[in-house]
Structure 1
Amino acid sequence: MSAEHFSSRLREHALKYIRDFFEKLSITLQIIIYLRPQADYIESSYSTEIKAGSPKVFKKVMEQYQSQSLRYDYEQLIDLWASFFNKDSINIIPYEKSSIGDDIRLNFLSAIGVTELSGLDLAKAKLNEKWSNPMLEFARLANARMTHITGQQRLDFLTFAQEIIDIELNPQPSHLMTIEQIQRSYGILRKF
């Protein structure tokens, strides 16, 4: 089983249920947790909100995220999981290219011992392309002002806008957070 939201949504009741369920089946679990640097995780979460239609400004969203300590305090998160499962069964992998390579799917398959890949279709597809900061701000403003554009029409409009922004502005990769905000977030959100 794999789900991105296991870390952000499962709490004591759900973890106890999972543990008890697999114990009844005499299945020993191996838990693999990918941990992304908190600053990257906050920025990625914000980007996901904007892509989904949120008009929120980054400052307000960052304050909201920092109040969710269990989601971003990895020591607290791992301690919670370790209180229900054998700590030796928890394998932590940094969610960074230097640790996982170019394809997280291959890293995950390797981590669970799958070596025969010939029957799998692992075609490269950019399903979650990172938007530049100018594109995120454009989309945020569009979300706030153009609520009548929804569904595929909204996606087509934003895809068109992204092409123009990328060509005209040629934005360079950068963080939404300032260096001070990143340092402050690591002070508030302990790095595991």
Structure 2
Amino acid sequence: MPNWCENRLEITANTAEELKTVLESVIRINNINKDHYKYDEFILDFELLLPMPKELNPEIDSNYLENFEKYGAGDWYEWRYKYWGVKWNANTQYCPDYDANNTEYSIDFDTPWCAPEAWFKVLIKKFPDVKFKLIYFEPGMFFAGIYSSIDAENCYYQYPESTSEVKLLAKESGYEDEDWHFDSE
């Protein structure tokens, strides 16, 4: 079981139509019909922007060397780590309803061990006119940072060198100073 990294993806588009295009590239909508109640569930899905080749699916008996030649990775784990930066798809925690008039949207989600840096780089490259910020915090190893489409906003902090900076970014995930105590403080 991995340590879970908490992430918030903030998207700021120039127009509502531009935001809609971005969301269609990263959000999957599940139509839920449960107990006579129907609703849409919004889920961040790395596969929409950067789908993993079906041949790398662990259920399919495949040839490692052929896959490596064809996809640059021999199996699903190598491919996901190379192209997404994490081994599993996003575990969506909170994805608000979409308002067709808005130009801003944020999604809270978890990933195993670290932020999905490789996936994020593909996202900002595909939509160069949109502002993206990925704020992440991993409480187990106590590190945090920001990946941004604006280089000056990028940062990385880790305990023990940057405890106060990590705590500031942890607040973005709902933590308080009282949640952490270190002997070195």
Per the TM superposition, whether the score is higher than 0.5 is no
The TM-score range, normalised by the shorter chain, is under 0.3
More helix by share: 1
TM-score w.r.t. structure 1 length? 0.22
TM-score w.r.t. structure 2 length? 0.23
More strand by share: 2
